[in-house]
Structure 1
Amino acid sequence: MANMADVCNILGRLRWFNLAILTITPAVGLYGIYTTRLRWETLLWATACYVLSMLGITAGYHRLWSHRSYNASRPLQYLLCLLGASAVQGSIYWWARGHRSHHRYTDTPLDPYNAKRGLFYTHVGWMLIKPSVKPGPSDISDLKNNEVVQWQHRWYFAIIPIVGYALPTIVAGLGWGDWWGGWYYASMWRITFAHHSTFCINSIAHYLGESPFDDKKTARDHFLSALLTMGEGYHNFHHQFPMDYRNAIRWYQFDPTKWFIATCGALGLASNLRVFPENEISKGELAMQLKKLKKVQEEIRWPIQVDDLPIVSWEKFKKESEERVLVIVSGFIHDVSEFLDEHPGGRGLLLGQRGKDATAAFFGGVYEHGNAAHNLLSMMRVGVLLGGVEHVKAIAPGERLRIVERLDQ
């Protein structure tokens, strides 16, 4: 009985409409592959429909209505709301509400597509099964007051048969007589690809790639994700700077949604294209670069800290120099005994400075040493001369530029 109860519970939590759309649509498309030849005109038309549907999602549902990253004129809003509806992914109101919860509660149980629940769940599972915990609340007052959003939400189920299925089929049928090709390829397969391309934003964009701006959350940047999602794959940037109308900030990065919005701005259809301050973006990048470098730094062996070195008098230094080859450079006593045969200038130069202050010679009197010599010499420190004067140049470059993590804040 317990097993039957579990089955009933699962069946009760299934989102049957979503399940039907996500299974019947590709099934019909597969049937079309075996029954209808794909014509090149239909392929081009299906591709155009796909791009337009995805722009409705990425430029409309996502960057305009979910994040308010720019302002759109009324004609552009209606165009994007119809293009987004053609992707058959729910109304703007439903889509944007869930996406705002995703950003506010990322990677927590209140995140409607929590990446920590696994790749399948974030890709499609959350669409098929009602969550045991409702998505966290978010402010959607602007969506409630937007006439275009509310109009589309009210008439959504009347709109999608027209723009999602009928229009792509009719154009192919009237245009070049390929009614079935329009149905199978420009409608069914185009919708299927649009579904899973969008779902990739929630799934692989949280698993595949790097975190160049912050690594607290699972969002990642990756070219493949961007290629599949019309530029949405630079997701680490997006989660750090969600109100920026761009997802990609480099000229060579693939973000056709950004190019579309910028073009609309140039044509006067969009305005107030929001961008995050470049200075703050650079801080985020630098912080992550320093974090990576600090890990490298921690794997490197460094010289003994100055405070841990013994303080040695001149007399003791001279006496110990008789037993081993000690030289002074900028107040530090160095044991170069094991380096005699490795010294590029030969043993004689080092032996000539034995028991002496070689500061002037080291800093250009004989030869002006580079970074490698400074770093290597610092590893030979064995003491600090009593009354000696430490010079800032005596600090090896590797130490001067050392990354220090502040733990007092």
Structure 2
Amino acid sequence: MVTKFIDRLVDRKKKSDEVIDSNNNVVKDFKDVERPSLCGEDDYKLEIVWRNVFIFLYLHACAVYGFLLPKVTWSGVVLAWAYGFMCAFGTTIGAHRLYTHRAFRANKPLQCILLFWQTMAMQNSMYEWVRDHRVHHKYTDTNADPHNAKRGFFFSHMGWLMCKKHPDVKKFGAKIDMSDLENDPLVMFQHKNYLPLALLVGLIIPILLGLYCGESFTVVWHGHILRYLVGLHLVWCINSVAHYWGTKPYDKYITSTDSYLVGTFGLGEGWHNYHHVFPFDYKCAELPTYWCNLSLMLIDFFAYIGWATDLKTVSPATVMRRIERTGDGTKEIYYKEEGNSKCIEIYTDSKNNDIWGFDDTDMTAEYKSCIDIYNKKFD
């Protein structure tokens, strides 16, 4: 019995050092795979892009002035809130859960809506946003991570946008599989025509609507920049706050945390420790209700009318086993049902969390078979 136990440990260690392709075939040893450097391991010197620094200084000065505006019409306020929510959902549901992590599928009308909203947000094209975020998940806390939290709070919040990318970001970013987006005509149309589209729907149209509501150009301009920056900072808080402060119920060995503050104001994106452990879960959280996760509520609405299908998640038993294995002890074990023991072992024995989503080539067929899929669409 002792020898069998030792053999099992040796076999598990051997398997943990293997990289397996989508057909469940071993392709190479993990230790032979090239990995990006860590912060401080190389001679890289940060290069500031002063143009971006001055742009952000101007935008923040305009936002402060917009916040202090003495008089704004109610129609202008309603317009700002409506525009803000559409931009936010275009990012949280569209860019993040759908296109980056493939946590669900969307029909063509929903794809068009989410692409339109994401264009309004003016946070780079869908293609660039997804590529950067997939790299973040694949190489978290390394120099290939565009907003590496190990390089400081300000850097992970917004500083990464004011300096040149680390060479590892470009090197390993080029290795990320983007074929799904490259074969999507809607995404590539937006990518190739992003600048005029973003200026039209993200700047010109909201300014014209504000003027139509009776606001002066000064109020519209500064108020719009204020709304734009609020949206940016909420997204940036996921990269910074949710990697510094909060709990780690699911994996205490990574920097990402669960933050009620970011979860509330970020429309459900703040449960970041859970998200980095299960990036393909369309809920991005384990919460039983829609409170603090309005993005989930909207996805479920689209699923109800048949526009969103193949909603991917994990079983409570699997989550509890992961909490038992790597959690920080802040979450109570409330679910004792065994569930599918084979699938539970696949999740709980995983070597790391460097999978960007459901279509990652490192997701084995066996791994995918253990993911719960609701509202499934059969092609």
TM, length-normalised to structure 1 = 0.64
C-alpha distance in 1 between matches for 2:266 and 2:184 = 26
Matches within 5 A, 1:52-63: 52-63=86-97
Q: How does 1:5-404 map to 2 (within 5 A)?
A: 13-15=47-49, 18-19=52-53, 21-33=55-67, 37-135=71-169, 136-137=172-173, 138-177=176-215, 179-185=217-223, 187-252=224-289, 253-288=291-326, 292=329
What is the alpha-carbon distance in structure 1 between the residues aligned to residue 230 and residue 215 of structure 2?
Answer: 24
Q: Give the whole-Å Cα distance in 1 for the aligned partners of 2:64 and 2:86.
A: 23
Q: Distance in 1 between matches of 2:206 and 2:157?
A: 26
Measure how far apart 1:178 and its partner are.
5.1
Distance in 2 between residues matched to 1:244 and 1:16, nearest whole Å: 39
Which residue of structure 2 lines up, in the alignment, with residue 336 of structure 1?
none
Give CA deviations for 1:347-369 in whole Å, capped at 9, x if unaligned: xxxxxxxxxxxxxxxxxxxxxxx
- Superposed CA RMSD in Å reads 2.1
Write the distance in 1 (CA, Å) between the matches of 2:185 and 2:143: 32
Would the aligned equivalents of 1:66 and 1:96 in 2 still touch at CA under 8 Å? Answer: yes
Q: Which residue of 2 aligns with 1:394?
A: none
Question: Bigger relative contact order, structure 1 or 2, given CA contacts below 8 A and separation 6+?
Answer: 2
1 CA distance for matches of 2:72 and 2:60? 16
The 3 A distance-change label for structure 1 pair 35 and 193 is closer
Quote the offset at 1:279 in angstroms. Answer: 2.2
% identity of equivalent residues? 33
The letter of the residue matching 1:230 is L
Task: Give the direction of change, closer, same or farther, for the CA distance of 1:157–1:16 in structure 2 (3 Å limit).
Answer: farther
CA deviation after TM superposition for structure 1 residue 110, in Å: 1.5
Counterpart in the other structure of 1:311: none
Structure 2 portions without partners, runs of 5+ = 1-44, 331-379
Q: Which residue in 2 is equivalent to 1:358?
A: none
> CA 1:79/1:146 → structure 2, altered by over 3 Å: closer, same or farther?
same
Residue 245 of structure 2 contacts residue 257 of structure 2 at CA under 8 Å; is this kept in 1?
A: yes
Structure 1: 5+ residue runs without aligned partners?
A: 1-8, 294-409
| Larger deviation, residues 141-150 vs 30-39 | 30-39
Q: 2:249–2:329: 8 Å Cα contact kept in structure 1?
A: no
Q: Distance in 2 between matches of 1:279 and 1:34?
A: 51
The answer to whether the 8 A contact 1:226-1:233 is kept is yes
Q: Is residue 271–residue 285 contact of structure 2 (8 Å, CA) maintained in 1?
A: yes
Cα distance in 2 between the residues matched to 1:32 and 1:254: 28
Change over 3 Å in CA distance of 1:15–1:134 after alignment to 2 = farther
Counterpart CA distance in 1 for 2:274 and 2:302 is 22
Q: Tell me the alpha carbon deviations over residues 149-184 of structure 1, each in whole angstroms, 9 at most, x when there is no partner.
A: 111111110011111112222222223455543332
Q: Cα 1:81–1:182, aligned 2, differ >3 Å: closer, same or farther?
A: same
Amino acid aligned to 1:79? I
* Higher-Rg member (1/2): 1
**In 2, distance between residues paired with 1:129 and 1:159?**
26
Aligned length in residues: 281
